[in-house]
């Protein structure tokens, strides 16, 4: 591998948006650490797809909220490729329900992954990403859309939006950008599961572009922030087709 090859670690890259991001960054010439939590088969398929097109990738695992596990995941990517330039944290969970009836055990599980997990990954990234690199978290357009039933999920992603500009300022002088992408309704299993066709059609009609986003749409926004978007820092990029 060339000394000039950039290296990315993408969490939650075994499927959905994370997989699309891993593939997109690999297409830009980056070596990619494909992180997964439970689905090793899907992660291995992502790696194989990247390698089939001439790219380099490895699969790494670990609970994003477990500091020791993520330390090992970052270590594995550094051992394989010599360093890390880009960290994209797509891993997350979504549990829906009205606030008044929301199960607090579900709330604890959601915040452990989405808030603590973001903090743990960002902490490792802040310690390791090389100069000229990028740290990219994931929020959601629901923080602005305020859909009923999304209180817990939106609250967890609001924490991500609060963290991003603080970390950008803490990394002053290191030539590292810190941003987040906030997708709108996107055709992934995470979004589609549990929704009937009428609900999906209604949401797809809301953006001026009159369709759901695709994982590849979101991956393009990530690729911009990971590559040429060097003057964008401490921001949340709403990638949602104009829905909000």
pLDDT of residue 1: 60
CATH number for the domain harbouring residue 96: 3.40.50.720
- Residue 204 domain flag: yes
The C-alpha atoms of residue 153 and residue 95 are separated, in whole angstroms, by 7
- Residue 92 domain flag: yes
Is residue 179 within 8 Å of 234, Cβ to Cβ? yes
Band (pLDDT 50/70/90 cuts) for residue 3 is low
Answer whether residue 42 shows pLDDT above 80. Answer: yes
- Residue 22 domain flag: yes
- Residue 243 domain flag: no
Domain that holds residue 11: 7-236
- Please tell me the total count of domains within the chain: 1
Band (pLDDT 50/70/90 cuts) for residue 198 is confident
Average pLDDT over residues 101-117: 98
Alpha-carbon torsion angle 20, 21, 22, 24, nearest 10: 80
- Residue 2 domain flag: no
- Residue 215 domain flag: yes
Answer whether residue 201 shows pLDDT above 70. Answer: yes
Band (pLDDT 50/70/90 cuts) for residue 4 is confident
- Model-level pTM? 0.95
Active site residue 150: no
pLDDT of residue 35: 98
CA-to-CA separations, 94 to 35, 82, 218, 235, in angstroms, rounded: 18, 34, 18, 23
Distance of CA 84 to the CA centre of its chain: 16
Band (pLDDT 50/70/90 cuts) for residue 191 is confident
Considering the candidates 153, 154, 163, 237, report the single residue annotated as catalytic: 153
């Amino acid at each position: 591998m060339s000394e000039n090859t950039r290296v990315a670690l993408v969490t939650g890259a075994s499927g959905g948006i994370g997989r699309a991001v891993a593939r997109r960054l690999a297409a830009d010439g980056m070596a990619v650490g494909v992180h997964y939590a439970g689905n090793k088969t899907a992660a291995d398929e992502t790696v194989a797809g990247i390698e089939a097109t001439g790219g380099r990738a490895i699969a790494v695992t670990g609970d994003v909220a477990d500091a020791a596990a993520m330390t090992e995941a970052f270590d594995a990517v550094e051992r394989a490729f010599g360093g890390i330039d880009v960290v994209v944290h797509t891993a997350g969970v979504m549990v829906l329900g009205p606030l008044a009836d929301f199960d607090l055990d579900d709330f604890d599980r959601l915040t452990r992954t989405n808030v603590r997990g973001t903090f743990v990954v960002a902490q490792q990234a802040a310690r390791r990403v090389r100069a000229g690199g990028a740290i990219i978290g994931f929020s959601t357009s629901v923080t602005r859309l305020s859909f009923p039933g999304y209180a817990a999920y939106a609250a967890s992603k609001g924490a991500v939006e609060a963290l991003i500009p603080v970390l950008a300022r803490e990394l002053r002088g290191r030539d590292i950008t810190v941003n987040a992408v906030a997708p709108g309704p996107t055709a992934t299993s995470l979004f589609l599961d549990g929704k009937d066709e009428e609900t999906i059609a209604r949401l797809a009609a809301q953006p001026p572009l009159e369709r759901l986003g695709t994982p590849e749409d979101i991956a393009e926004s990530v690729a911009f922030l990971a590559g040429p978007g060097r003057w964008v820092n401490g921001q949340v990029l709403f990638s949602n087709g104009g829905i909000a």
